[in-house]
Structure 1
Amino acid sequence: MKQLVNSMTGFGQAQGKIDQTTISIEVKTVNHRFLDFSFKMPREFLGFEDAMKQKIRQYFNRGRIDVFINISGEGVRSKDIQVNWKTLDQYLKALEEIKEKRDISSDIEFEDLLQLEGIFIEEENAEVDGEVQDKIIELLEEVLQKVNAMRQDEGAALKVEVLNRINNVKDYTNELEQHIDTIQKEYQERIKERIHSHLNDTAQDESRIIQEVAILTDKSDITEEITRLFSHVAQVQEAVNLHQPIGRKLDFITQELLRETNTIGSKSNDVRISKIVVALKSEIEKIKEQVQNIE
């Protein structure tokens, strides 16, 4: 079963040999909105790129995946040795001319021909042997397992951090809820005092004042926002236990948490509410920062 929360940051490396050729593979992953690939490797391996992408998709759903492949020792392509007959004939003709003009009778030995430059031509085959591709995929899978383990370890730490922060958000929301009745009553009294101060004593209409107070109080009511905050907290707590990528989901929820918190801040001028709103925004911003690295 797949890890519940995965980070998008990881690193792994592995090395293997085919005959006298050493192949080294490194994979580094960082956060990215989608699954993005980058390969830095010899041209011989370009034909394997699709197979490597397919293998990577078996492990990761999001993140930038940087793959580095290096080879040392012998090349991975087989070579054919060809005789450059045209050049050899030119050498032999020149040697015969030297013998005739300088009266040299020594015979040309085979060892002498080996010293001549350009007699033999090495030609690499266009295709890399299938054994090489199998080895690369084998090494890549070994590396991906290491990267995945690192992403899982960091993901576990991110889960703890997010849950701790969201619990703080829940505590602050509970604190807001406890102040609702008291703050609304205080708010109603302040409004009534302000209205009374602007009305002539003989022209006061108590029912009209009460109606205006009720309208203004309703506009300042934060009950709905608090209810939605509790709902979003529960969604985060549920999401971190899902067996699927949750980064985008958590990112959306944190945006909603911020939106509700900002609405509460704009509705209330109470100092106590303002302090809690500041604390709430701080916790949510920290959650949002951590969520950016969750797959």
Structure 2
Amino acid sequence: MTGYGRAQQILNGRDILVEIRSVNHRYYEYSSRVPRTFSYIDEKLKALLKTSISRGKVEVSVTINNIEGKDTEIAINKGAAEGYVNALRSIADELGVEDDITLSKLMKLPDIFNIQKTPDDEEQVWDDVSHVASEAINRFVEMRSVEGERLKKDITDKAEGILGMVAKVEELSPKTVENYRNRLYKKLSEVLEGKDIDDQRVITEAAVFAEKIAVDEETVRLRSHIAQLENMLAGDEAVGRKLDFIVQEMNREVNTIGSKAQDLNITKVVVDMKAEIEKIREQIQNIE
């Protein structure tokens, strides 16, 4: 299921931005873009997302900018500064030139300052990032929930449509036996040319045919699968993979009905059912 969540906060002198995107995928697949200097948060971030997202191709982007200079320490090398001043004054005295040493000129000389990067407090950084990431996850989940409700309604509507087709098959199936019986009477009449027809033989043949094409068990199971599908959609649990199985079973029953069909009208209904089941199969790839 597609989704997007974004959150940004300034915490402890750091401007932290977390963005989460996802596209449809049958399983959970994680990728990230995290600054190299903060790579130690990546595994924790992956675990955090997994608690709320179980399906989809998910990409997380983290941007961290220090805005208060807390990541560096600047120390003045007083010994070097004094050495420069003494040397410059000595040169000025010896050459008889004006001593115009200023602080701005002194600062441009090498080794006056020692600049050191302050090590990150990794625990604090993770606390801050996880706080922002949690907010982004909440927004991401909220967006996916809206889309999820739309998908559930659409799938439920399709399932109800399939139930209507099942009822049509149940209506047509007895007529198929009746049509077969009538064709059998007609064929025997033509062959026997007016002689008496053995009604018992016709009844027996029709019974064998009826048993061969009976789809009662398949339609009962198909109705049961659809009921399970609708119950799962009505719940709040992650059911995407369970729905995969249910749809496979629905397709299996419809295929069996199709293989038994001896009536063009039933065959047409089977084709329509398979088309709707395929649409449902594609849509449930987007459901957790």
TM class, shorter-chain normalised? 0.7 to 0.9
1:172 corresponds to:
165
Higher mean C-alpha deviation, range 270-279 or range 105-114: 105-114
What amino acid is the match of 2:127? D
1:80 corresponds to:
73
Matches within 5 A, 1:175-214: 175-190=168-183, 214=207
2:264 corresponds to:
271
CA RMSD of aligned residues (A): 3.7
1:70 aligns with 2:32: no
Matches within 5 A, 1:132-151: 132-151=125-144
CA gap 1:129/1:189 in 2 versus in 1, 3 angstroms: same
**Does the aligned pair in 2 maintain the 1:188–1:217 contact within 8 Å?**
no
Distance in 1 between residues matched to 2:26 and 2:122, nearest whole Å: 36
Distance in 2 between residues matched to 1:214 and 1:261, nearest whole Å: 23
Distance in 1 between residues matched to 2:199 and 2:82, nearest whole Å: 121
1:42 corresponds to:
35
Higher mean C-alpha deviation, range 214-223 or range 272-281: 214-223
CA gap 1:85/1:218 in 2 versus in 1, 3 angstroms: farther
**Does the aligned pair in 2 maintain the 1:80–1:122 contact within 8 Å?**
yes
Higher mean C-alpha deviation, range 126-135 or range 60-69: 126-135
The structure, 1 or 2, with the larger RCO (C-alpha pairs under 8 Å, 6+ apart) is: 1
What amino acid is the match of 2:213? S
What amino acid is the match of 1:173? V
Residue 192 of structure 1 and its aligned partner are, at CA, apart by 6.7
Matches within 5 A, 1:49-68: 49-68=42-61
Residue 40 of structure 1 and its aligned partner are, at CA, apart by 0.7
| Aligned with residue 151 of structure 2, among 158, 162, 170 | 158
Distance in 2 between residues matched to 1:76 and 1:263, nearest whole Å: 71
Secondary structure of the 2:4 match is: strand
Write the deviation string for residues 27-82 of structure 1: whole angstroms up to 9, x where unpaired.
11233333322111212322222332333233222222211112346388621235
What amino acid is the match of 1:134? D
CA gap 1:179/1:103 in 2 versus in 1, 3 angstroms: same
Distance in 2 between residues matched to 1:199 and 1:108, nearest whole Å: 132
Secondary structure of the 2:143 match is: helix
**Does the aligned pair in 2 maintain the 1:219–1:267 contact within 8 Å?**
yes
CA gap 1:40/1:90 in 2 versus in 1, 3 angstroms: farther
Write the deviation string for residues 157-176 of structure 1: whole angstroms up to 9, x where unpaired.
11111111111111110111
Distance in 1 between residues matched to 2:27 and 2:181, nearest whole Å: 50
1:288 corresponds to:
281
TM-score by length of 2: 0.82
| Aligned with residue 5 of structure 2, among 9, 12, 15 | 12
Residue 127 of structure 1 and its aligned partner are, at CA, apart by 2.8
Distance in 2 between residues matched to 1:228 and 1:69, nearest whole Å: 49
1:23 corresponds to:
16
What amino acid is the match of 1:140? A
Residue 190 of structure 1 and its aligned partner are, at CA, apart by 3.8
Residue 149 of structure 1 and its aligned partner are, at CA, apart by 1.0
CA gap 1:163/1:104 in 2 versus in 1, 3 angstroms: same
1:234 aligns with 2:234: no
- The number of equivalent residue pairs is 287
Distance in 1 between residues matched to 2:192 and 2:82, nearest whole Å: 120
Distance in 2 between residues matched to 1:101 and 1:199, nearest whole Å: 143
What amino acid is the match of 1:112? K
1:246 aligns with 2:239: yes
1:5 corresponds to:
none
CA gap 1:191/1:46 in 2 versus in 1, 3 angstroms: farther
- For structure 2, list consecutive stretches of 5 or more residues without a partner in the other structure: none
1:261 aligns with 2:254: yes
Residue 25 of structure 1 and its aligned partner are, at CA, apart by 1.3
- For structure 1, list consecutive stretches of 5 or more residues without a partner in the other structure: 1-7
**Does the aligned pair in 2 maintain the 1:180–1:223 contact within 8 Å?**
no
CA gap 1:125/1:268 in 2 versus in 1, 3 angstroms: same
Secondary structure of the 1:61 match is: coil
